[in-house]
Amino acid sequence: MTQQAEMTELEHTSTIHDHSGCREKAIHTAEKLCSQRGVRFTPIRREILELIWESHRAIKAYDLLDRIKPHMGSAKPATVYRALDFLLEQGLIHKVESLNAFMGCSYSDHRHDQLLLVCVQCHEVEERPGERVMEAIAMELEQAAFTMQRKAIEIHGICGRCASSSSSSSRAAN
Ligand SMILES: [Zn+2]
Ligand SMILES: [Zn+2]
Ligand SMILES: [Zn+2]
């Protein structure tokens, strides 16, 4: 019985994943894509991407600016904004419009629509392919004879981890 409880606990904590793997994969993909496309992955661009990938939380430009200062004393806002523009153009990051913040893209090796699940509690953003949702929207747009330029859907709510930690803490309180 205790064994069973331990197993469940372990499975649960495994959703708190080894994030260094996410970051390394993203940086590696960025290096590969930039060299394939013949664009330069300069130190400032890399630095900004690494900062964005420090977590799955969306980060605002001025927070990036604050955090880059200790690394690069002379980083001017314009330099950071240009680096962000580059990363957006290359599809390495996304802008979360509703938060006016940036997040790393998990599928940067191909162009795609974005279904972003924004947790209002921990501010983590999960990017999902959301193919069925996007197909339905494409049909709707076709009926409306509306030519879309880009598709990004942001949904605000509570992520699974926050929901389960608040329900377990309320259980503990009872
Ligand atoms: Zn991660
Ligand atoms: Zn993406
Ligand atoms: Zn959350």
For 95, the 3-state DSSP assignment is strand
In a domain? residue 2: no
CA–centroid distance, 166 to ligand 2, in Å, is 29
Domain count, the chain: 1
Tell me which DSSP letter residue 47 carries.
H
Per the DSSP assignment, residues forming a β-bridge with 96 are 101
- What the block records as the tokens of 95 is 């802008």
User: Which ligand places an atom closest to the C-alpha of 116?
Assistant: 2
**Which residues in 161-173 are b (16+ Cβ under 10 Å) and which e?**
eeeeeeeeeeeee
User: Which ligand places an atom closest to the C-alpha of 125?
Assistant: 3
In a domain? residue 12: no
Q: Which of 95, 90, 61, 94 is nearest to 78 (CA)?
A: 61
What pLDDT score does 10 carry?
40
In a domain? residue 153: yes
- What the block records as the tokens of 36 is 């394939």
Please give the distance of CA 100 from its chain centroid, rounded to a whole number. 13
Distance (Å, whole) CA 91 – CA 9: 36
In a domain? residue 3: no
User: Which ligand places an atom closest to the C-alpha of 53?
Assistant: 1
In a domain? residue 130: yes
Residues 38-80 pLDDT 10s: 999 999 999 999 999 999 999 999 999 988 876 666 668 888 9
CA–centroid distance, 155 to ligand 3, in Å, is 13
Low-confidence ranges of the chain (pLDDT < 70): 1-16, 70-75, 168-174
**Which domain range does residue 78 map to?**
19-168
In a domain? residue 70: yes
In a domain? residue 14: no
CATH of the domain at 113: 1.10.10.10
Distance (Å, whole) CA 131 – CA 26: 22
One-letter identity of residue 19:
H
In a domain? residue 11: no
